[in-house]
Structure 1
């Protein structure tokens, strides 16, 4: 069996606090462990995992999240919820007439609240997309790593989605910002047989980086770290 995308992991100064923000925003629960807070997903919605770290952000973040809206009122309520829970508006160069609102969670992780009627995210659920900085090659790697269909492949932009639907994962293509230091946002995978799966991922183009206390750390073809655990 191939890897399963368990969660997007974020390094965090206060995992419990930022997990509470996302749980409130997505109407999910929080599972707490020492130094770790998980906002679980399901078969269609990706989970979010927050891990205690005092490392500083170096360079631009490599991914951010897109939330969908069913109506203009829903979009407005979502923005209000973000602000009420401790998020804020941010300026990333967007134009005033853009059909989305750019915000950040209490620790500066970017998110966009997309306007209703977005066809690409139709039917994906509230957490519609994890959008990443990356090449077409890395999108094809993750297609094969997760065994998820490629649902977009144009102008070197790619996206994959579980066969069951739900959250899409996309890569914007070139130009890709240079990677500076370790990513503070990473994919966290589960596999029934991590040893066998590690070898398969390496055959697809991953690089083994080292052992973790409960798994192995690898990098995708763009050099982005990710972890693989038994489960």
Structure 2
């Protein structure tokens, strides 16, 4: 028997802002809100427990200590990498320099709170 990732929890200063950003990036919808201010987002019509993990944006006032030890990679499903890069930048992502050489096949970006993620080149089929 094995485990699978069901949800990813991201501590953040503004769960509403990040929930809106990541919902647009991933095509997710809000699944629920907790009394502590956490917001869970996930695939429409599937929610928690489906083939894709949900994201829980959890409020935290703790400062981010340094470069994250874990980051999210995303791939476009309905356009090429350049078009998806432009879409993500328009949504509020920013470019990040983590020491790339400029020859990588991916783009390093950050969400509106500075959490790094990568846009990979390969185009995936939507689920």
Q: TM-score, normalised by structure 2?
A: 0.81
Greater strand proportion: 1
Q: How many aligned positions are there?
A: 120
Aligned residue in 1 for 2:92:
86
State the 1:79 CA deviation: 1.2
Task: List gaps (5 residues or longer) in structure 2.
Answer: 44-48
Aligned residue in 1 for 2:61:
54
Aligned residue in 1 for 2:27:
27
Matched residues in 1 for 2:91 and 2:105: separation? 23
SS of 1:78's partner is helix
Aligned residue in 2 for 1:109:
115
Aligned residue in 1 for 2:103:
97
The alpha-carbon distance between structure 1 residues 70 and 2, as it changes in their structure 2 partners (threshold 3 A), is closer
State the 1:6 CA deviation: 2.6
Matched residues in 1 for 2:6 and 2:104: separation? 32
Matched residues in 1 for 2:96 and 2:102: separation? 12
Aligned residue in 2 for 1:177:
none
Matched residues in 2 for 1:74 and 1:17: separation? 26
Contact 2:15/2:59 (<8 A) preserved: yes
SS of 1:31's partner is strand
Matched residues in 2 for 1:3 and 1:65: separation? 19
Over the aligned positions, Cα root-mean-square deviation in angstroms equals: 2.4
Q: Which protein shows a greater Rg?
A: 1
State the 1:94 CA deviation: 0.8
Q: TM-score, normalised by structure 1?
A: 0.47
Contact 1:67/1:114 (<8 A) preserved: yes
Contact 1:25/1:78 (<8 A) preserved: no
Matched residues in 2 for 1:70 and 1:14: separation? 28
Greater relative CO (CA pairs within 8 A, separation 6+): 2
Contact 1:15/1:52 (<8 A) preserved: yes
Q: Please give the residue correspondences for 1:156-171 in structure 2 after superposition, counting only pairs within 5 Å.
A: none
State the 1:60 CA deviation: 2.4
Contact 2:6/2:52 (<8 A) preserved: no
Matched residues in 2 for 1:2 and 1:96: separation? 38
Contact 2:96/2:108 (<8 A) preserved: yes
Aligned residue in 1 for 2:38:
36
